[in-house]
Amino acid sequence: MQILLKVFALFIVLACGSSKNNSSSNQSENQSGKKFPLHKIKLPEGFKIEVYAEVDNARSMALSPNGTLFVGNRRGDKVYAVIDKNGDFKADEVKIIASDLTMPCGVAFRNGSLYVAEVNRILRFDNIEQNLNNPPKPVIVNDKLPSDRHHGWKFIAFGPDDKLYVPVGAPCNICEKDNPIYASIARMNPDGSNLEVFASGVRNSVGFDFHPDTKELWFTDNGRDMLGDDLPSDELGRAYKAGLHFGYPYCHQGDVPDPEFGNKRSCDEFEKPMQKLGAHVAALGMRFYTGSQFPEKYKNSIFIALHGSWNRSSKVGYKVAFAKVENNKVVEYSTFAEGWLEGQDNWGRPVDVQQLKDGSMLISDDHANVIYRVSYQK
């Protein structure tokens, strides 16, 4: 009888110990969830979101062929390298590779060199991945860009023509400037030469990509402010050749003449948006999805980070949208990920999206200071 009682007591101790360990594990998960409440993010069935790295004011992203993720910021002065050493899709190290810069939002990678966009110049850090612990002094690629900080931060990327595409936002909410570089997407050679305007009438693009098949430029554009809650819409544009004009400051969203400048030119003169993205949603980073991890419906279509409104009576945006593209037309526009906005309070703001080699997708968040990874399992 005594032996049975001892066995029973041992069983109780083991059971309680096991229960305690599970409780501790759940508590740790809950603590992480409170900092980044990922359970609030709604995704289509089969998708999962997790933290990839914590990066202060994470903005635009660029991925090297070796898997190093470079991240710019707008609020601060730094550029980061995010490194996943063991391939578990969680960053093992975040290094500051540049500082004392002016709004170094845009980053692009080419032939071992990292290009960084400040407000008025483009820098290049050569052989950067072999010198992450002791980054080289940057080479000035081009320092002839306007120095206006209003819409002065930039997203940059190399096109299929091996030119660096650089947007130059309007230095105002609404204005007409003689200098054609304003309100444009420009491009230059990798050495900074031959700077030219590629697309005009683009108020403030902070994200673009090139169609994987046609190689045409698609871009987001932020509409003007102070026309009310519901006008005008941000735009998804398509620049299928050089020299096109997309309306600003004369026409907005393809069909709304500007109250001040609209009498000068007709909306019929300009390119129409491929998709109206919503008023004041602050459409920023966008990428065509070319991977094979996500379901087939996402192939060669666009994910768009909607950073969220700041000047609307009720907030909108704060999510990641999806635009399905077929035959150079948007045939579906829908929400892919949401939950950063709860009522009128937001705990995060998506900025950019970046595909990883395995076909999963990163989302930067400059409000929560984090980069998420979204993956899919059948």
- For residue 225, what is the domain's CATH number? 2.120.10.30
| 32 in any annotated domain | no
Count of CB atoms situated within 10 Å of the CB of 257: 16
Edge-first strand order for the sheet with 217-221 is 208-210, 217-221, 233-239, 275-279
Torsion angle, CA of 262/169/288/253, rounded to 10 degrees?
-10
| 96 in any annotated domain | yes
d(CA 369, CA 59): 9
- Cα-Cα-Cα-Cα dihedral sign, residues 354, 289, 276, 246: positive
Give tens-digit pLDDT for 316-372: 999 999 999 999 999 999 999 999 999 999 999 999 999 999 999 999 999 999 999
Q: By residue range, what is the domain housing residue 287?
A: 44-376
Give tens-digit pLDDT for 19-54: 333 322 222 233 334 489 999 999 999 999 999 999
What is the number of structural domains in the chain? 1
| 78 in any annotated domain | yes
| 18 in any annotated domain | no
SS3 10: helix
- Per-block mean pLDDT, blocks of 10 residues, the chain (378 long): 40 36 29 72 98 97 98 96 96 97 98 98 98 97 97 98 98 97 98 98 98 98 97 98 98 98 98 98 98 98 97 96 97 98 97 98 98 95
Which residues lie below 8 Å from residue 121, measured CB to CB, with a gap of 6+? Answer: 140, 141, 142, 143, 144, 145
Which pLDDT value is given to residue 27?
26
| 62 in any annotated domain | yes
| 13 in any annotated domain | no
pTM: 0.90
- Compute and round to an integer the Cα radius of gyration of the chain: 23
| 337 in any annotated domain | yes
